[in-house]
Amino acid sequence: MRPSHVWPTLATLAMFVALGVLDPTLALFIDTELGHGGWVLGLAIGARTVGACVAAPIAGFLTTRCGTARVTIIGLVLVALSIAGYLVVDDVAPLILLRLLGGIGEAAAFVGLIRSGYDLATPAGAQRATVVLTTALFVGLGSGAVLGESVRLTYGFPGVWIVAACTALLGAAAALPLLRVAAVTRRARVSLRSTPLLHGGSLGFAGVVVFGMAAFAAFSTFVPIRAAELGLTDSGSIFALSAGIIIAIRVLAAVFGEVGAPSRIVVFSLLACGGGWTLVAVLPSVVGLYLGVAVASVGFALLYPTLLHAAVGGAGDANRGGAVATLTLAYDAAQGVGAIALGGAASVAGGASGAFVLAAALPLLGVVAAVAVFRRTSRDRHGTMVSDGQHG
């Protein structure tokens, strides 16, 4: 890893430790302390998506206009403030508003950090930079989940919110050195007026992200609930298992580089995601939960990094911020819509199994979309090569 990548990696790690602390705790807080389950639970968990979806395209624009460091730092401060607000929440309505604010901050910080990774990388190292940053993401989520459960059992929910907010502030501090290298992105500002907020060429990849990451929402919404139903007092180990699998696969990918054609990686990933949630749905047991989460995690490991690199790598420097924003928007929208849809499925089915059935079906639809997108991309590139050859 290049020295300049240390700071965005540390900031990414800190932000997702803070968010990981919430994964096994927030759903339980809403369910047990605020007394809401089903679709209300899904709405509260997914509310951050609305803010993130609004903020992501604007954040991509602002990374070009104002620099990635400022966008990242402001985003992390907003994340910290929103989580600190949980300390005074006694109803679901203000929690939803705070989740909206947190979504704005999270999207701004994530777009800024991914853009920083690409801006600071060499062309040959761009994919590896993406893998490193998204690996830090899951290291943060996994370690944060374990930390969150430990803090909850010792200090209760207020302790969880304090730890998460302070960790997000540490992420903002880690991003401060990026201000010194902000000049890296200034050369892209000259084409700002001709750069759209979203990148049209990335929309197909974004559609595939929606199907895959909507299913991923089952982790934060219904894995803790299923664990509680099965009599487990701590779901942190389940999140740690998932993160460990994802991290191991991403580290191997970072070390060895390309592990196969992007289209095949994406299709395999989606099939594994669907298979994992199928196991959780049909095997309502502790073994079924751990086994299903493990299989689904294999699928999620390379799904988003592969789609992100496919989109951003083909966007060019001028559209890089828009491409990152497009995939980030899809990622956030998928988890928010997914959380609400999974909550609705659970309400209709009368239990968490309904949510896992839907989570198993969504990646299969993603396979259909992925095949179409990669075929179209291949045709477009082949046509461009033919056209270039004719003009040459």
Fold of the 3-181+201-385 domain: Growth Hormone; Chain: A; (1.20.1250)
pLDDT at 56 (0 to 100): 81
pLDDT at 246 (0 to 100): 87
pLDDT at 182 (0 to 100): 53
For the CA atoms of 332, 261, 378, 325, the dihedral, rounded to the nearest 10 degrees, stands at 20
Q: Which of 163-167, 198-202, 312-316 is predicted with the least confidence, judged by mean pLDDT?
A: 312-316
Mean pLDDT of 265-292: 93
pTM value is 0.70
Task: Look at 193 and 320; give whichever has higher pLDDT.
Answer: 320
Select the highest-mean-pLDDT range: 54-58, 64-68, 88-92, 378-382. Answer: 88-92
- Look at residues 147, 144, 49, 97 and name the one whose alpha carbon lies nearest to residue 343: 49
d(CA 75, CA 26): 21
pLDDT at 151 (0 to 100): 94
55 has pLDDT over 70:
yes
pLDDT at 296 (0 to 100): 94
* 240 touches 361 (CB < 8 A): no
pLDDT at 328 (0 to 100): 78
21 has pLDDT over 90:
yes
Mean pLDDT value across the chain: 82
88 has pLDDT over 90:
yes
102 to 124, 144, 185: CA distances (angstroms): 34, 17, 26
pLDDT at 158 (0 to 100): 95
Mean pLDDT of 216-233: 84
Share of the chain above pLDDT 90, in %: 32
Task: Look at 128 and 50; give whichever has higher pLDDT.
Answer: 50
189 has pLDDT over 50:
no
* Position 98 confidence tier, pLDDT thresholds 50, 70, 90: very high
pLDDT at 390 (0 to 100): 47
List the domain boundaries for the chain. 3-181+201-385
